[in-house]
Amino acid sequence: MKKLAIFSSIRLKFILFFVLLILIAMQIIGVYFVRELENKLTENFKESIISKINFLTYNLEEEFVKDREEKGAKPLEEDIKNILLENTSADIAEIQVLDKNSRILGTSDKNNQGIVGQRKTDNFVTRALVTGEKIDRLVIDGKNGRTWVTYVPIEVNDQIVGVIYLEGLIERIFDQIGVINNVLITGTAIALALTAILAVFVAQTITKPLSEMKKHAQAMARGNFSRKVKVYGKDEIGQLAQTFNNLTKKLQEEQAKTDSEKRKLSSILAYMTDGVISTDRKGRVILINESAEKMLNVTRETVLSKPIVSLLGLEDQYTFEDLLEEQNSVILDYSKANNPFILRANFSIIQKETGLMNGLIVVLHDITEQEKIELERREFVANVSHELRTPLTTMRSYLEALTEGAWKDEEIAPKFLNVTQNETERMIRLVNDLLQLSKMDSKDYRLEKEWVSFIPYINRVIDRFEISRERGISYVRRFPKQQIYVEIDTDKVTQVLDNIISNAIKYSPNGGKITIKIIMYHEYMEVRISDQGIGIPKASISRIFDRFYRIDKARSRVLGGTGLGLAIAKEMIQAHGGRIWASSIEDKGTTIHFTLPYDRNQEDDFDEI
């Protein structure tokens, strides 16, 4: 444990920080310095070699063009030998001159003159002779270490007549760098030692006051507020010590007054946005906030000292002791006819330091909307299941009949297949409508709006229905004479009009009339589509735009609807910034109203154009 305490000490961390800081800094400086030095020395070495090669190349070119047939002329090999011996240096291990057939004409190594006249099997020599390019490469061997080898073609009258092969002793450069590295390592070690010694003294001045404050805090945790921290100076640590002493004094004064009230207050404040009720140890109400009063429709004066089980209406189901042991939420249903109201109650026990129960905190959450959404979800799932099960059951029955031999009956089989096809198409329409609603509900749904002259546009939609003359229904159009420009997604609004007009046709008597009327207002226009059908009961008008809602389910299925058309229309109109509703008189007809935003200033702009 003592070893762990040493390694977790701030003093050791402080020392390690300084040591590591110096170590990292020296490493960075050393790496950068050595790298740059290596590059510079290598460049100088190569420049020195290149200058010697250039001078050597010039002399050798003169020897290659010299006329050897003159009386007293020396052989080419002897002249090359003399030139090479004159150009040796400590940086060069060996220089060889080869002719265009890779035959060695001379070498600077006095002890290796026997290779003169031999052919050198080196691919790089061949490459230099063929391509005429200068080749440099670094070779590592066990004899000389790293060697810089270069191949330089010799050209006479634009013809390559030979190659200079040179081995440079670049290992000496790396030996020098190694010496410098040793110097840097020694300097780093000395710097680290001095830094560690300095860090020990600096850490001591910082950690000593902190150690004293730590001991004082431990004493405060045990309830001893009489000790004071010694102030060593006026710096930040001294100011911290002074502040610590002032805090000790304040805590000593306030602890006795705030111990019991602090726990109650923190619990109440944590749930202040919801209804909060606090009781004493016997379960009688001692505190209730305004939100809880509104939820329970009570006043503070009437509920103080009242048992909590009685206030919540739980006396038939729970005792106060049961609530103390209740781990789960309790649902409180205060719903009335056509007015749902549901609360969720959570219970939390208030305890003293000794562990004894000191009361109960009750937090009330209004979950009416959540329950309503859950109910709608269940209804929606049930409706979808029912709508899919009905055609599937029908299809299965007819297909089983066909499987059992009905397909052989030329009169019955086509009817059965026709019913199966109709039910399949019905399911496809249902799935397409569900996908459409899903897209409308998604956050990334976007309308592709464009400015449209509305009257010609709606006339085209109505013309499609009028051409069919279905059931002898006629169409009455009552439109303003002026042009109307609106910004809409034509595909979506066409779908809305198709749904509404199709419904009007379904529920209109043969030979009836459908009236389409447009009324202009200052900021919007209203479209009314009226039929002469059976109408809608008042109790159902507000729900016809709900998904899968049908007034007469049997009649709706006979007419082929999915129960989603008006729901889709509602979503699309609302996406355009409008609203949709219905008015109806039973046995006289129904009118569907919807509005679209309308900008007179925009219309004026189109008129000017």
Q: What is the tens place of the pLDDT at every residue in 384-394?
A: 665 666 667 77
The two structure tokens encoding residue 58: 């010039």
The two structure tokens encoding residue 292: 């809880």
- Does the structure show a pLDDT above 50 at 422? yes
| 378 and 361, same domain (yes or no) | no
> pLDDT (tens digit, 9 = 90+) per residue, 220-255?
777 776 777 777 777 777 777 778 778 777 777 777
- The model's pTM: 0.40
pLDDT at 385: 65
Higher pLDDT among residues 472 and 162, named by residue: 162
Residue 600: band (very low, low, confident or very high) from pLDDT cuts 50, 70, 90:
low
Which range (203-212, 358-367, 512-521, 580-589) has the least confidence?
A: 203-212
Inside any domain, residue 254: no
Show which of 320, 341, 366 is a domain's final residue. 366
Span 12-27, average pLDDT: 78
| 477 and 411, same domain (yes or no) | no
Inside any domain, residue 212: no
- Does the structure show a pLDDT above 80 at 208? no
- Does the structure show a pLDDT above 80 at 260? no
| 489 and 544, same domain (yes or no) | yes
Show which of 143, 176, 209 is a domain's final residue. 176
Inside any domain, residue 72: yes
Query: Phi and psi at residue 474, in whole multiples of 5°?
Result: -110, 160
What dihedral angle (degrees, nearest 10) is formed by the CA atoms of 507, 513, 519, 524?
30
504 and 529 in contact (C-beta within 8 Å)? yes
The domain tally of the chain equals 4
- Could you tell me the residue range of the domain that residue 319 belongs to? 271-366
Instruction: Give dist(CA 72, CA 537) in Å, integer.
Output: 136
Inside any domain, residue 239: no
Instruction: Give dist(CA 28, CA 479) in Å, integer.
Output: 84
Residue 477: band (very low, low, confident or very high) from pLDDT cuts 50, 70, 90:
very high
pLDDT at 269: 53
Q: What is the CATH number of the domain that holds 286?
A: 3.30.450.20
Residue 596: band (very low, low, confident or very high) from pLDDT cuts 50, 70, 90:
very high
Higher pLDDT among residues 28 and 467, named by residue: 28
Instruction: Give the chain's length.
Output: 609
| 346 and 400, same domain (yes or no) | no
Instruction: Give 71-83 as a DSSP string.
Output: TTPPPHHHHHHHH
Inside any domain, residue 413: yes
- Closest CA relative to residue 128, chosen from 137, 139, 117, 138: 137
Which range (120-129, 328-337, 581-590) has the least confidence?
A: 328-337
565 and 499 in contact (C-beta within 8 Å)? yes
The two structure tokens encoding residue 503: 């419904």
Question: Which neighbouring-strand residues pair with 354?
Answer: none
Instruction: Give dist(CA 287, CA 281) in Å, integer.
Output: 13
CA angle 315, 317, 320 (to 5 degrees): 60
Query: Phi and psi at residue 54, in whole multiples of 5°?
Result: -60, -45
SS3 of 469-499 = CHHHCEEEEECCCCCCEEEECHHHHHHHHHH
The two structure tokens encoding residue 478: 């009552």
Span 511-527, average pLDDT: 89
Q: What is the CATH number of the domain that holds 393?
A: 1.10.287.130
Which range (46-50, 197-201, 405-409, 433-437) has the least confidence?
A: 433-437
| 456 and 597, same domain (yes or no) | yes
| 459 and 393, same domain (yes or no) | no
| 470 and 601, same domain (yes or no) | yes
Which range (339-348, 400-409, 524-533, 584-593) has the least confidence?
A: 400-409
362 and 347 in contact (C-beta within 8 Å)? yes
Tokens 């444990």 belong to which residue?
A: 1
Inside any domain, residue 204: no
Span 79-92, average pLDDT: 78
Instruction: Give dist(CA 244, CA 71) in Å, integer.
Output: 109
| 149 and 45, same domain (yes or no) | yes
518 and 525 in contact (C-beta within 8 Å)? yes
| Helix, strand, coil tally for the chain in percent (to 5) | 55, 20, 25
| 518 and 591, same domain (yes or no) | yes
| 127 C-beta neighbours (distance < 10 Å), count | 15
Show which of 319, 350, 366 is a domain's final residue. 366
Inside any domain, residue 190: no
- Closest CA relative to residue 506, chosen from 527, 531, 529, 528: 531
Span 334-349, average pLDDT: 81
Q: What is the CATH number of the domain that holds 509?
A: 3.30.565.10
> pLDDT (tens digit, 9 = 90+) per residue, 107-162?
888 888 888 888 888 888 888 888 888 888 888 776 667 888 888 888 888 788 88
Inside any domain, residue 520: yes
Instruction: Give 513-553 as a DSSP string.
Output: EEEEEEEE-SSEEEEEEE--SS---HHHHTTTTSTT--SSH
Across all residues in the chain, what is the average pLDDT?
Answer: 78
Span 459-466, average pLDDT: 86
| 560 and 465, same domain (yes or no) | yes
| 122 and 29, same domain (yes or no) | yes
| 125 and 17, same domain (yes or no) | yes
Please report, for residues 211, 251, 257, 305, 351, the alpha-carbon distance to residue 263 in angstroms, rounded to integers and kept in the order given: 32, 16, 12, 21, 8
